[in-house]
Structure 1
Amino acid sequence: MSVEAGAVKVMALGNRESAEFVSKAFIGTEKEDIFEFIDGDIHEIVLPCGLKKVDIIVSEWVGHSVFVDSLFKEVIFAREKWLVKGGFIIPNVAQLFVCGIADHPRKTVEVNILPQSDYPGRSYMVREPVSLIEDYVAKEQLITEKYLLKTIDLCTAHINDESFRVPFKLRGLRDSQLGAVVLYSDIGLCRPRGKFRLMFSTGPKRPRTYVRQTILFMDNPVEVAKCELVIGELGMYYKPDEHREVEYSFSLGSSTIANP
């Protein structure tokens, strides 16, 4: 796309297979030398042709819950090192939302129970339900309205923005039990003081994408009435020992009846 749009030089990092496919498409054409694949770690590579800066960064950087299995840190690094002042990042904005559902198929995993010092004996295995999964939720499962947790703009984002804790309010759409919350994102473009332009969404009301929703289960579901506001807090924390992974915290507080 960038080559066809008239770019003087296009450099690709990461996916060699896709890059080779693009390169073959331009073999024997006047644009053959425009596209080039750069192999290596992003922190160690050198741009070809003596280039020091780029005008545009294009990346499929968004992961599950925005930051899980994401290229967020890599794009921030590229922005700081190579992007010209006023340059573009496509897409640059991710909006992280939360909404509530009553239930969803919940997997179980084997957990090894080790003997305690006060009760010596053999360890044993038990099956326990998982606390979260990455899956797809249908719009018919929704029992609350959505709530915007966080907006991330890669043009201004800081490397530590993937760790946060924020309050939320979920308004009930009907009388039901709240058994889990769902995290999803809207991805798009927005220039300074400009209007957000949606490119795609991982939400339950949109077609499925390669990025799934994150479902956080509650061990003790709570009753929610139509128009009731359920107040809580959700946190997401980067795990430095596991690249591109995060930990979650989730709690519910009080609830009130809102005006219809």
Structure 2
Amino acid sequence: MIIMYLSVLTDTFADTVTDHDGGAGDDVPDLSDSDNEEQWQWMEEANDNNFQVTCLFCDKMSNSVPETLQHCLVEHQVNLVEVVKKHKLDDYGYIKMINYIRTEKCSGQSLSTLPECSIPWESDEYMRPALQDDPILQIDLEELCEGMGMLAEPSTGSQCEASHSSDALLQRAQAAEERAQAAEERAQAAEERAQRTEEALARAMDDLHKLKLLAQGLVLNADVGRGTGALGAVAELREDEDEAYFSSYGHYSIHEEMLKDTVRTESYRDFMYLNPEVFKDKVVLDVGCGTGILSMFAARAGAKMVIGVDQSEIIYQAMDIVRSNQLQDRVTLIKGRIEEVKLPVEKVDIIISEWMGYFLLFESMLDSVLYARDLYLAEGGSVYPDRCTISLAAVGDTEKHQGRIAFWDDVYGFKMACMKRAVVPEAVVQVLKPDTLISKPAVIQGIDCNAVCLSELEFASDFCLKITESTDCTAIVGYFDIFFDRDCGNKVVFSTGPQVTKTHWKQTVFLLENPIPVQAGEELQGRITVRKNKKDPRSLFITFDLHDMKQTYSLQ
């Protein structure tokens, strides 16, 4: 009956060996249902003469499980077979009971007197063996009971019969032990072959990684310029698929960080307060309104109606904030995704949104803004901010490179260079020291939010960085600039670059595995490809072709 407990572990090992050794698992003892007798004999190997079996209720050590169970019957008046029948225990129930007895130091009397409806070992915690390699958990109880005459109640005659039965079973166990030792040797040989196979697999995985980079390049060339429907756009995500994204904006801390970003918040405020003619008597849509700060700026700037939409739970606090500032007559807040809600108006004059993510396009919130633009923006209306650019620059920071990449070459005297394959592909979001820039910046992409198509948010661009210092280029940094320009008498611009006041967007750094020596005055040429992760359209893959090196980074 308890054969399932060990066979699951054995099947798992056999499958693992087969997977890695192309059939090496054939050497592992077969536990199929086709031969129950062989299966029982293999299970008897648990009665290993190299160790003793401990009684369930005292410290008595016996040479076999049958001898131990007979001891429990004679000395403690506990017939485990009757206990199993009384409580109608299945395989798992039996396992839990044995572990319960050993864990809780249960007495024989308390076990025998338990009412049928009372099973104190129901908890799954008793699936964990209380005694490592417990032989009593490894024996088929039903066959054991048959061999012992169903563990009859103790009497002089029955004790003698049980003794003979125990001796017979012990002989079977000893014979099975020899088979077990041979099987163990075969299993050890199979494990060694599996280890050699894993080493070969590691080498194959390294080759596969190189092929993957090549394949990514081919796919990217095919992907750029495809139609909107094939982009895995955010609009196509189900609400449950997008729940994690909106949940991250449900906590106050992220909004506190954004509001305290004075570059960001004051730029939006100045754009609206310094250009009241843009907002006077207009209907404004705030996509992803968060705490409602932009909606209230717009209302104060003269908008006659502002509609804020947000799916995160923070919108309930935003409603209280709007009421606290007596703006509820002009600001209406709606909970939901812009792709799914129904607005109280057919068209709006202005769409405002703080949609920018790391490296501008991370999180793909611009997708939602463009969806709202195409569906709700009236003719002659505008999206703000209306322009933005992405720029790159070369970085020479040997100390940072040493701490994150070269570090793995010698870790306390051990080589761990393989870790670079995991570290390098992760883009790093951090504040970069201005004095580590070693080139002039180069704009690689410009976006007109009033005209851009969704498909254009995935792109490839050649770039040329004019080097200003002779050193090693250890990374490429990316950042963006934002423009409030269209119809504005007072234009507002802000940057997230390392040369100016830092923002909560910081900069996105792409570390090079191998630094590139550069000379002042020369040009470092390359190509960048930016695309969405098809499995998660809010994250990005950024690939650089640079100086005979190709590397894909993830931003997620």
Shorter-chain TM band = 0.7 to 0.9
Select which of 492, 499, 503 maps to 1:209: 503
Aligned residue identity for 1:211 = W
Select which of 469, 472, 493 maps to 1:174: 469
Q: Alpha-carbon deviation of 1:196?
A: 11
> Match of 1:36?
332
- Structure-to-structure mapping, 1:111-126, within 5 angstroms: none
Distance in 1 of aligned mates of 2:534 and 2:305: 35
> Match of 2:529?
235
Cα distance, 1:147–1:18 mapped onto 2, change above 3 Å: farther
Measured on the aligned residues, the alpha-carbon RMSD in Å equals 2.2
SS in 1 for 2:447: strand
SS in 2 for 1:95: strand
> Match of 2:318?
19
Greater Rg by CA: 2
SS in 2 for 1:98: strand
> Match of 2:110?
none
Select which of 204, 223, 236 maps to 2:517: 223
TM-score between both structures, scaled by the size of structure 2: 0.40
How big is each residue's C-alpha offset from its partner over 1:113-155, in whole Å with a ceiling of 9 and x where there is no partner?
Answer: xxxxxxxxxxxxx743333211111211101110010001110
Aligned residue identity for 2:341 = I
Q: Alpha-carbon deviation of 1:57?
A: 0.7
- Structure-to-structure mapping, 1:141-160, within 5 angstroms: 141-160=436-455
Q: Alpha-carbon deviation of 1:162?
A: 1.8
Distance in 2 of aligned mates of 1:190 and 1:2: 16
Select which of 319, 329, 346 maps to 1:52: 346
Aligned residue identity for 2:457 = E
Distance in 1 of aligned mates of 2:522 and 2:489: 31
Cα distance, 1:208–1:70 mapped onto 2, change above 3 Å: farther
How many residues align structurally? 231
Asked whether the 8 Å contact 2:424–2:513 carries over to 1, the reply is no
Asked whether the 8 Å contact 2:430–2:508 carries over to 1, the reply is yes
Aligned residue identity for 1:229 = E
Distance in 2 of aligned mates of 1:26 and 1:195: 28
> Match of 1:161?
456
Distance in 1 of aligned mates of 2:304 and 2:465: 48
Q: As a proportion of its length, which structure holds more strand?
A: 1
Q: Alpha-carbon deviation of 1:21?
A: 5.0
Aligned residue identity for 2:337 = D
Q: Alpha-carbon deviation of 1:18?
A: 5.9
Q: Alpha-carbon deviation of 1:235?
A: 0.9
> Match of 1:258?
none
Asked whether the 8 Å contact 2:480–2:497 carries over to 1, the reply is yes
Which portions of structure 1, spanning 4 or more consecutive aligned residues, are displaced by more than 6 angstroms?
none
Asked whether the 8 Å contact 1:184–1:214 carries over to 2, the reply is yes
Distance in 2 of aligned mates of 1:158 and 1:196: 27
Aligned residue identity for 1:82 = Y
Q: Alpha-carbon deviation of 1:73?
A: 0.1
Give unpaired runs (5+ residues) of structure 1.
Answer: 109-125, 255-260
Distance in 1 of aligned mates of 2:547 and 2:491: 34
Asked whether the 8 Å contact 1:12–1:19 carries over to 2, the reply is no
Cα distance, 1:21–1:206 mapped onto 2, change above 3 Å: farther
> Match of 1:250?
544
Taking every aligned residue pair, what percent have the same amino acid on both sides? Answer: 26
TM-score between both structures, scaled by the size of structure 1: 0.82
Cα distance, 1:70–1:212 mapped onto 2, change above 3 Å: farther
Distance in 1 of aligned mates of 2:523 and 2:433: 22
Select which of 81, 88, 91 maps to 2:375: 81
Q: Which one is further off, 234-243 or 76-85?
A: 234-243
Q: Alpha-carbon deviation of 1:195?
A: 10
Q: Alpha-carbon deviation of 1:252?
A: 1.5
Cα distance, 1:6–1:195 mapped onto 2, change above 3 Å: closer
Distance in 1 of aligned mates of 2:304 and 2:500: 36
Cα distance, 1:242–1:195 mapped onto 2, change above 3 Å: farther
Aligned residue identity for 1:77 = Y
Matched, 1:7 2:303: yes
SS in 1 for 2:375: helix
Distance in 1 of aligned mates of 2:541 and 2:442: 20
Q: Alpha-carbon deviation of 1:43?
A: 1.1
Cα distance, 1:18–1:152 mapped onto 2, change above 3 Å: farther
- Structure-to-structure mapping, 1:189-204, within 5 angstroms: 189-191=484-486, 197-204=491-498
Q: As a proportion of its length, which structure holds more helix?
A: 2
Give unpaired runs (5+ residues) of structure 2.
Answer: 1-296, 406-417, 549-556
Asked whether the 8 Å contact 2:364–2:537 carries over to 1, the reply is no
How big is each residue's C-alpha offset from its partner over 1:16-44, in whole Å with a ceiling of 9 and x where there is no partner?
Answer: 156235413333xxx43111111112111
> Match of 2:482?
187
